């Protein structure tokens, strides 16, 4: 309700902070609501003593709206979804298709396009249950924080509901969301992909990173959709390549094998020098994609002590970076071609080549994409050397 009758006192409203949706038997949904308890949050600072700040309720219902109505029966306050920060969808439901979920979301007044959409490995209920941030008082704040700083590493891309919806309805390109998971906190390493040398970092899916302690909930990688159905996952390293290609990569650390002393590492802070230059052309229904990427690096550590800052040695580092990036990028693109999902949305670069929208829709880009020939050129430049301009060897 809105308008004159829409006035609500805060004590008549239950503010929902996160919603998890899972597939249940009989074509039903398990909807988990994370509801804030305002009593514990008011009157400044008193709530530090471990008082419960959120309540979790799971309702089984045939639809989202029905679930909300059923929730009302037990909560005693009208659930208000305008402050939902994060929508978590279970992997099973995502693979079944999200069309029926996203449609109502974008139409209903209380939903906002700026809510984050996340696909959880396992069930959404488990993710919401296990999510227990230590630094933040509220899980909603955690979601805002963790998705807001995605640009710090590029290991996951923040995905808002609106973006997902737009990608879903566009003729070319495939939608994607952040991938979430629960880390068992056992410290066991379960990489999904071996490192692509010279990059040292193995590819992980969320929950597989060796870690002990901290919030079990973790975000990494990307869930790839074809249409409204999830068809695959990208690891964190692959997601970083996706970020570079989408021009959304402000910075991230890179661990490389030392070109001269292969058993040693060098560490670099890299960022996108300019928006990637992507050229797509269509020759006899075979797309050809030319990618030019400029990466700028800053040295943060050279463990071997080799003087890579020197003019004559600098190209070695630059080549090493360029090699690592182009290899990883190629792997990622091959994977998406195999999945037949154009996550980067190369299709949009074809738009200037056609006259109108109908012509563009007629191309059927998603069918052509798997056959595309992709040429990658990565240009790496070492711009800064950190706070040292020369490394001296250790004297014995």
Partner 1 sequence: MGDNIIVKIYRYLQDMLVYKPSRTPPTFFLEELPNEDETSPITPAAALQGSAEELNMLLRQAKSLQDSMEKLTETLRDGKISSIDEFRAEYKKLSQLQTEISPARLAYDAVSTPSERQVSANLEENRSIVEKLYRLPENKDTVIRHLTIPLSPPVRAMMVFLEGMVDSKTLILAILQPLMLFSADRVVNNTADSLTDQIIEECLPANQVKKAVDFQSVQNSINSGDTALFINGVPEAVLIDTKGMAQRSVGRPVTEQTIRGSQAAFSEGLRINTGLIRSTLKSSDLVTEFVAVGKRTNTNCAIMYLASVANPSLVKEIKRRIEGISTSYVGDIGTLQQFIEDHPGILFPQALSTERPDRVASHLSEGRVAFILEGVPFAHIVPVSFFTFFHSAEDFSFKGPNSSFLRILRLIAGFTTLLLPSFYLAIYYFHPEALPTEIVLAIAGARERVPFPALVEVILMEFSFELIREGGLRIPGVLGSTIGIVGALILGQAAVTANIVSPIVVIIIALTGLASFAIPDFQMAMAFRMLRFVMLLLAATLGLVGVASGLLIMVLLLCSMKSFGVPYMVPVAPKAKANLDVVIRGPVFRQEQRPDALNTIDRQRQPHISRKWMMEKPAGEEDKS
In the list 56, 60, 83, 348, the residue contacting partner 1 (rule: CB under 8 A) is 83
Binding flag, residue 43, partner 1 (CB under 8 A)? yes
Q: Which of positions 207-236 make contact with partner 1 (CB under 8 A)?
A: none
Pairing of β 86-90 and β 13-24: parallel
In the list 60, 95, 141, 330, the residue contacting partner 1 (rule: CB under 8 A) is 141
Q: Segment contacting partner 1 (CB under 8 A): 6-14, 117-125, 240-248, 358-366?
A: 6-14
Nearest distance from residue 262's CB to partner 1, in Å?
Answer: 50
Contacts of 26 (CB under 8 A, 6+ apart): none
State the alpha helices, DSSP H only, in 108-155. Answer: 124-130, 139-148
In the list 19, 40, 223, 254, the residue contacting partner 1 (rule: CB under 8 A) is 40
- Between 7 and 283, whose beta carbon lies closer to partner 1? 7
Q: Which residues pair with 378 in a beta bridge?
A: 293
Using only C-alpha atoms, what is the Rg of the chain? 24
Question: DSSP 3-state assignment of 396?
Answer: coil
In the list 112, 200, 211, 383, the residue contacting partner 1 (rule: CB under 8 A) is 112
Binding flag, residue 312, partner 1 (CB under 8 A)? no
DSSP 228-275: TEEEEEE-HHHHHHHHHHTT----EEEEEE-SSSTTSEEEEEEEESS-
- Between 85 and 167, whose beta carbon lies closer to partner 1? 85
Nearest distance from residue 220's CB to partner 1, in Å?
Answer: 25
Binding flag, residue 39, partner 1 (CB under 8 A)? yes
Binding flag, residue 17, partner 1 (CB under 8 A)? yes
Q: In 3D, which of 148, 341, 168, 143 has the Cα closest to residue 238? A: 341
Q: Segment contacting partner 1 (CB under 8 A): 82-90, 179-187, 264-272, 380-388?
A: 82-90
Interior angle at CA 118, CA 112 and CA 123, nearest 5: 125
Q: How many other β-carbons are positioned within 10 Å of the β-carbon of residue 276?
A: 20
Q: Name the residues that contact partner 1, by CB under 8 A.
A: 2, 4, 6-11, 13, 15, 17, 36, 38-44, 80, 82-83, 85, 110, 112, 138, 140-141, 144
């Amino acid at each position: 309700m809105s308008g004159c009758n829409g006035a609500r006192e805060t004590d008549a409203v239950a503010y929902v902070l996160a919603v998890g949706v899972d597939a249940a038997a009989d074509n039903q949904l398990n909807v988990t609501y994370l509801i804030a308890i305002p009593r514990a949050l008011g009157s400044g600072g008193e709530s530090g003593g471990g008082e419960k700040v959120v309540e979790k309720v799971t309702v089984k219902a045939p639809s989202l709206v029905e679930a909300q109505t059923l929730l009302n029966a037990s909560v005693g306050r009208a659930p208000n979804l305008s402050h939902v920060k994060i929508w978590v969808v279970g992997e099973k439901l995502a693979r079944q298709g999200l069309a029926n979920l996203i449609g109502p979301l974008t139409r209903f007044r209380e939903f906002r396009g700026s809510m984050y959409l996340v696909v959880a490995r396992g069930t959404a209920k488990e993710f919401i249950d296990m999510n227990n941030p230590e630094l933040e008082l509220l899980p909603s704040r955690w979601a805002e924080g963790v998705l807001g700083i995605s640009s710090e590493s590029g290991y996951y891309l923040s995905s808002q509901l609106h973006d997902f919806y737009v990608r879903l309805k566009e003729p070319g390109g495939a939608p994607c969301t952040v991938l979430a998971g629960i880390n068992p906190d056992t410290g066991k390493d379960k990489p999904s992909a071996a490192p692509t040398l010279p990059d040292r970092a193995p590819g992980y899916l969320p929950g597989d990173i060796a870690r002990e302690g901290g919030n079990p909930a973790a975000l990494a990688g990307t869930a790839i959709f074809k249409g409204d159905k999830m068809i695959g996952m990208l690891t964190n390293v692959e997601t970083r390549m996706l970020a570079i290609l989408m021009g959304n990569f402000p910075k991230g650390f890179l661990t490389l094998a030392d070109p001269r002393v292969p058993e040693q590492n060098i560490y670099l802070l890299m960022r996108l020098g300019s928006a990637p230059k992507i050229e797509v052309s269509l020759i006899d229904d075979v797309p050809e994609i030319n990618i030019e990427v400029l990466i700028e690096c800053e040295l943060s550590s050279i463990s071997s002590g080799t003087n890579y800052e020197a003019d004559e040695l600098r190209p070695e580092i630059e080549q090493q970076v360029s090699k690592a990036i182009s290899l990883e990028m190629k792997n990622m693109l091959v994977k998406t071609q195999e999945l037949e999902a154009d996550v980067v949305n190369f299709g949009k670069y074809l738009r200037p080549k056609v006259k109108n929208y109908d012509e563009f829709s007629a191309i059927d880009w998603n069918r052509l994409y798997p056959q595309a020939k992709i040429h990658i050129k990565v240009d790496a430049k070492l711009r800064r050397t950190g706070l040292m301009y020369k490394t001296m060897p250790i004297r014995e």
